[in-house]
Amino acid sequence: MAIPPHGGELVDRLLTGDARDAAKEKARGLPKITVDTYAAFDIDGIAKGLFSPLTGFMNEADTRRVLDTMYLRDGVPWTIPLLLAVSQDVADGLEVGGDVAIEDDLGDLLAILHVAEKFTMDHGEICEKVYGTRDESHPGVAYTMPLGPVFLAGELDVLKTRAVEFEEYNRPPKATRAAFEERGWKRIVAFQTRNPIHRAHEYLTKCALEICDGLLIHPLMGTTKKDDIPGVVRMHCYQALMEKYYAPDHVMLSLMPVNMRYAGPKEAIMHSIVRKNYGCTHFIVGRDHAGVGDFYGTYDAHYIFDKFEPGEMGITPLFFDHAFYSKVTDGMASKKTCPGGAEDHIFLSGTKVREMLKRGEMPPPEFTRPEVAQILIEWAQSED
């Protein structure tokens, strides 16, 4: 039996057929607002049920409840509010109880929002309670602070999905759930990544596979920091790795079109909820999950799960320590599984790896597979 979606029902706000045609016609006479790429990805996620049980953007009561308690309502954990901000002038032109057409950053009609509420909230408070800081060097804070002062809440009717590169891998939750059932997978572990998979990641995923039927490699393909490795490069790395180093009957590659918020522990909870909606029963939480800079402790993303009762999340987190190549055991390991000190461990900083790639040097095979390294070398040198 498949794992239930978060909140009990898989949301579908994507209109099709006659309903979509009628909504397009209705939108012609509605006031219009334009959203950025970030909001467009949020709308797409709501439409496809990635953020079930949300059916639209959150109101003030739900937002405050999430910020203060990490719950939408009793029994439904939630840690990051999904909000739609607009300028005061735009908000003044909209009526509560009315509708507004939403165009995306590409100029296409995206959705109709049924405006149920307009509210204001201190942006600094939101940042403090989501990101744990008001420091604008944090990318999530830097995005949030300049947003318009008024938030619009209400249900969405969505007319258009958000296309991404490698769209053939962009399976919505209905499709991944069907694929898991077709493959006979009952225990499915998801691996979150916004970077290429190196040997330590590979080790974590294969450890998890030993207790699960299938692995969903699920790279995030929404907005990311400018200095993150581009999605197209990452995808080529995943494909190369899967082709040679994973058992094909027990692994699947699919995209997650969700924004990276860099919210550390609270984003680890959200990532697990989204994977639950995709049909996964287990979720890998590694070192500094969804972290950035020095804003979070190394294992804060593990500890936050302790704030919920066992089984309350409805998906099983798998916590992993920092993995590395051990000279003592001649294989991948962690401090839990091998003797020896730091001098016996091989791991490289991201900065050192990037310097090697730009010089055309192959990182050691204990760090990354050569097929992946070659793809990264070609990308790094093309950046010069």
Which pLDDT score, from 0 to 100, does residue 171 have?
Answer: 97
What residues have CB less than 8 Å from 349, skipping those under 6 apart? none
As a whole number of Å, the CA-based R_g of the chain is: 21
How many whole angstroms separate alpha carbon 265 and alpha carbon 288?
8
Band of residue 341 on the pLDDT scale cut at 50, 70, 90: confident
In tens, the pLDDT along 118-149 reads: 999 999 999 999 999 999 999 999 999 999 99
Q: Is 274 left (phi over 0), alpha (psi -120 to 50) or beta?
A: alpha
Tell whether the model's pLDDT for residue 175 goes beyond 90.
yes
Contact (Cβ atoms closer than 8 angstroms) between residue 130 and residue 290: no
Say if residue 34 is exposed, middle or buried (CB neighbours under 10 Å; 0-12, 13-18, 19+). Answer: middle
Tell whether the model's pLDDT for residue 346 goes beyond 90.
no
How many whole angstroms separate alpha carbon 361 and alpha carbon 379?
13
Whose CA is closest to 143, among 226, 67, 64? 226
Band of residue 384 on the pLDDT scale cut at 50, 70, 90: low
Instruction: Report strand pairing: 331-334 vs 109-114.
Output: unpaired
Which pLDDT score, from 0 to 100, does residue 381 have?
Answer: 87
What residues have CB less than 8 Å from 138, skipping those under 6 apart? 127, 131, 262, 292, 293, 295
How many whole angstroms separate alpha carbon 245 and alpha carbon 234?
16
Instruction: Report strand pairing: 251-253 vs 214-219.
Output: parallel
- Any bridge partners for residue 316, and if so which? 282
Average pLDDT over residues 279-301: 95
HSE of 61 in the Cβ direction (CA atoms, 13 Å)? Answer: 4
Q: Which two tokens stand for residue 73?
A: 């309502």
Average pLDDT over residues 158-177: 95
Tell whether the model's pLDDT for residue 95 goes beyond 70.
yes
In tens, the pLDDT along 239-270 reads: 999 999 999 999 999 999 999 999 999 999 99
CA 174 to chain centroid: 17
Which pLDDT score, from 0 to 100, does residue 296 have?
Answer: 98
User: What is the amino acid identity at position 353?
Assistant: V
Which pLDDT score, from 0 to 100, does residue 106 have?
Answer: 93
Domains and CATH numbers, the chain: 6-158 (3.10.400.10), 167-256+260-382 (3.40.50.620)
Tell whether the model's pLDDT for residue 383 goes beyond 80.
no
User: What is the pTM (predicted TM-score) of this model?
Assistant: 0.96
Active site residues: 194-195
Band of residue 194 on the pLDDT scale cut at 50, 70, 90: confident
- Any bridge partners for residue 71, and if so which? 77
Average pLDDT, the chain: 95
Length reported for the chain: 384
What residues have CB less than 8 Å from 346, skipping those under 6 apart? 324, 325, 326, 327, 364, 366, 367
